[in-house]
Amino acid sequence: MFKSLSPATRLGLLLVGVLLACLLFMTLNVRAGWAFTLPFRGEKLLGLLLVAYCIAVSTVLFQTITHNRILSPGIMGFDFLYLLLQSLMVYSLGSIFFSQINPSLKWLGEVFIMVGAMCLLYYWLFIRQQRHLHILVLVGIILGTLFRSLNAMIARLMDPVEFDLLQDVMFASFNQIDSTLLGVSAFLALLVTLFGWRYRHALDVLALGNDQAVNLGLNPRRLMMLILIAIAVLVSVSTALVGPVTFFGLLVANLAYQLAGTHRHVYVVPMAVGLAAMILIAGQAVLEHVLSFATGLSVIIEFIGGLFFLILVIRQGRR
């Protein structure tokens, strides 16, 4: 029965699911008055929506430009690169500079640097060199570990005042969304969306592979570079808000390919975003209000996502 549904109907059903999850999140187990609960939870809800959006979109875009289904920005260590850049900046520029500058402005600067660093590294890795997928998986996991370790080393070199400044970023999680950056983050995500909308059909063509994209009149190199920039922005946003999330993007992107019922990005991307939002929000609602924070949402999501990643790698190897 599900097979016969059109992509638009499927998206509609998903939207209902997302709205139900939001409703659950906002109304479950309200103890304090509504005047307190609504803005308090509303802010969290916006944060979760934004994070779901960034992770889902960045993963689908990344998989389209790299022509694979088992790598995602999270697995390739993008998030840890962001954390490393943060530490490096605090360490080199000093705490006084860091605490006095306008946080939104500072953050825009960070995103800018992140975009530059990420594009250089991953452009070289993915687009200049055509490598085998399994080597890329290894490289990504090694790079992720390298960035994380460097980050830890720099944290040890810092003096406590400087380290204190990093706390916000380092310990952000689904429970503690860094809400000071919500406004400017949403703005950046919107910019990326407006830009991406223009390329919605070109993305479908890009998924056919480089040769076909050239044949059909695209300039794949240029397009991939632009999309890589968009991915860098989205990853920066999600990492700044909730910290590194490794496998979640992979999970929702692959579910979206299965459930969207079409290859077209116009449907696949919203599908992935909706799934990500539904899972995050419903999961957080249940954890906070039913299990009363017995465990972190990221632990569960990463566990399921990690298992899923292993299944994909094993299946790919068999072919």
Partner 1 sequence: MIEVAGLNKAYQTQKVVDQVSFQLKGAGVTAIIGPNGAGKSTLLGLISRLQRPDEGWVRVDELDVHHCAGDRLAQTLAILRQENQISTRLTVEDLVSFGRYPYSKGRINEQDQFKIEQALAFLDLLGLRHRYLDELSGGQRQRAYIAMVLCQDTRYLLLDEPLNNLDMKHAVGIMKLLRRAADEMGKQVILVLHDINFAASYADCILAMKEGQLVYMGSPEAVITPEIMQDLYDLDMTIQQIQGKPVAFYYR
- Residue 24 makes CB contacts below 8 A (sequence gap 6+) with 281, 282, 285
Contact mark string toward partner 1, 112..131, x via CB under 8 A: --------------------
215 is a contact residue toward partner 1 (CB under 8 A) = yes
* Residue 180 in contact with partner 1, rule: CB under 8 A: no
Which residues neighbour 305 within 8 Å (Cβ) at sequence distance 6 or greater? 246, 247, 248, 250, 251
Nearer to partner 1, 83 or 253 (CB): 253
6 sits near partner 1 (criterion: CB under 8 A)? no
Based on the shown chain and the rule CB under 8 A, indicate whether residue 257 belongs to the binding site for partner 1. Answer: yes
Per rule CB under 8 A, is residue 211 in the interface with partner 1?
Answer: yes
Residue type, 42: G
72 interacts with partner 1 by CB under 8 A: no
Task: List phi, psi (to 5°) of 294.
Answer: -60, -30
Print the SS3 string covering 192-244: HHHHHHHCHHHHHHHCCCHHHHHHCCCCHHHHHHHHHHHHHHHHHHHHHHHCC
Among 131, 134, 200, 315, binds partner 1 (CB under 8 A): 200
Q: Does the footprint of partner 1 cover residue 221 (CB under 8 A)?
A: no
Residues 260-279, interacting with partner 1 (CB under 8 A): 263
Residue with Cβ nearer partner 1 (97 or 134):
134
> Which tokens go with 217?
């009149």
What would the two tokens of residue 218 be? Answer: 């695209």
Applying CB under 8 A, the residues found at the interface with partner 1 are 63, 67-69, 200-202, 204-205, 207-209, 211-212, 214-219, 257, 263
